[in-house]
Amino acid sequence: MSKLFYKAMIEDVQNGKCTDAELEALLNAFEYTVKKMATTLARKAWYALEDYATAKQYGIDRFTLMIERKEVLGQEQWHGVFEYGSKNLKVIGTLERINPALHSYPSQTGVSRLFGKTDGLI
């Protein structure tokens, strides 16, 4: 199942001591991970962000992410928890289909810059 024409939408965020810069980078990591995980059968997964290409550059390499796919009132939702020491960030997101004919893709989006992709189709 291709998720090429889907956009990750952040529905809710609960920030526990993360800085604004960490918050932005972690939300980009969440969006990226949701789109990648959506194409699999996985319902729950754990990630060490040190494995992400540019996480160290954005200061989030020590965080871990637990992400879970849940069905809530007929809608597929993604629940993620980032943790590092006393810092944590809880995120709920969904995927929404976009019409590719109505959207142009910039050469680099925030997510693609964070993870080293330059095709603009993330």
* pLDDT recorded at residue 101: 66
C-alpha to C-alpha distance for 87 and 8, rounded to whole angstroms:
23
Mean pLDDT, rounded, of the chain: 86
Provide the pLDDT for residue 110: 53
What does 75-110 look like in DSSP terms, one character per residue?
Answer: EEEEEEEEEETTEEEEEEEEEEE--GGG----S--H
| Whether residue 114 has pLDDT greater than 80 | no
Tell me the longest C-alpha to C-alpha distance in the chain.
44
Alpha helix locations (H) across the chain? 20-37, 110-115
Give the C-alpha separation, 111 to 122, whole Å. 7
Given this model, what pLDDT does residue 48 score? 98
Taking only the tens place, the pLDDT of each residue in 4-58 is 688 899 999 999 999 999 999 999 999 999 999 999 999 999 999 999 999 999 9
pLDDT of residue 105: 52
